[in-house]
Structures are given as C-alpha cells and as structure tokens.
C-alpha cells in the first residue's frame, strides 16, 4: 500500500502542483488506497490508477468550491451562470465523495479507468446542476454508466 500511495502522490503533485500537498489530500488518498486494498482482488497498477482518479476528482471539486469562497459568491447568487453553475460547499464536496465511494462499493473492483472517469464526471456534472444529495448523485452516475454500455 505504501508503494501505491507514493506512486499516486508523486503523480498527483506533478499534475496538481505543490499547493495540493496538504494533510487533507494525504488523508483522502490514504483512505482510498486502504479501501481499494481491502477489496483484495485488484492489482497494484489498477489501485494506483483508481486512487489517482479519485484524488484528482476530489481536488477538482475542492478547487471549484474554493472559487466560490474567493469573492464570487455574490456574483453567483445574482448570476449563477457567472460561476458556470459551480458553487460547491464543503458539504457538497463531501456528498460527491460519498456518492463516488458508494458507486465503487457497488461495482466490481476491476472496473476500467474510463468507467471510473465516467462516474466521476457524471457526479461532478450533476452537482454542478445543483444536486446535493449523495444518494441521487450516486444513482445518476450509475445510470450514466449503464446507459453507456
């Protein structure tokens, strides 16, 4: 697990930059790797890819939420399109993370990385439209995955 963590962390920081080197991101990544390792039947390279996608989705959701906190809250309240519809609170980010975790709990652990990307983007898309319930975010993502097949 330590080798997987190091591999993901190095790639994550190369993509996101040094400002992503936070205790919160480390904890999120460690939790995802432990969850993937507990599943048992997943190879290390698959665990690395799945964990990298997961932490990048959470980083993007956090970034979108921060954009709202840095002075655009009023513009978004008056003109939601000024934000592109993205105003993620910490609660929304938690709901998106929970939705993705629950999707992954329901699916076999050997899902292709493009399926994981579809789940993640579906959750982000639905949250950007205003959905804040983790159960409905999960259902939307799973339906999008079913429709793709």
- Taking only the tens place, the pLDDT of each residue in 108-142 is 766 677 777 888 888 888 888 888 899 999 999 88
**Residue whose structure tokens are 């997987």:** 4
pLDDT digits (tens, 9 = 90+) for 40-67: 666 777 778 888 887 887 777 666 655 5
- Which of the pair, 2 or 107, is modelled with greater confidence? 2
Residue with tokens 């993937």: 36
The rounded distance, in Å, linking the Cα atoms of 64 and 42 is: 31
- Judging by beta carbons within 10 Å of its beta carbon (0-12, 13-18, 19+), is residue 10 exposed, middle or buried? exposed
Q: ∠ at Cα 141 (62, 41), nearest 5°?
A: 90
> pTM, whole model, 2 decimals?
0.52
Q: What is the pLDDT of residue 66?
A: 57
Residues whose CB is less than 8 angstroms from the CB of residue 27 and which lie 6 or more positions away in sequence, other chains included: none
């Amino acid at each position: 697990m330590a080798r997987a963590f190091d591999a993901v962390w190095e790639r994550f920081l190369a993509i996101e930059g040094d400002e992503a080197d936070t205790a919160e991101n480390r904890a999120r990544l460690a939790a995802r790797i432990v969850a993937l390792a507990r599943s048992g039947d997943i190879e290390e390279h698959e665990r690395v890819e799945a964990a990298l996608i997961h932490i990048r989705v959470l980083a993007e959701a956090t970034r979108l939420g921060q954009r709202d906190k840095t002075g655009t809250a009023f513009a978004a309240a008056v003109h939601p399109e000024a934000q592109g519809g993205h105003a993620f609170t910490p609660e929304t980010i938690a709901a998106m993370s929970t939705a993705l975790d629950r999707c992954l709990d329901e699916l076999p652990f050997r899902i292709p990385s493009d399926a994981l990307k579809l789940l993640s983007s579906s959750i982000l898309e639905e949250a950007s439209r205003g959905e804040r319930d983790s159960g409905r975010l999960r259902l939307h993502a799973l339906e999008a995955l079913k429709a793709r097949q």
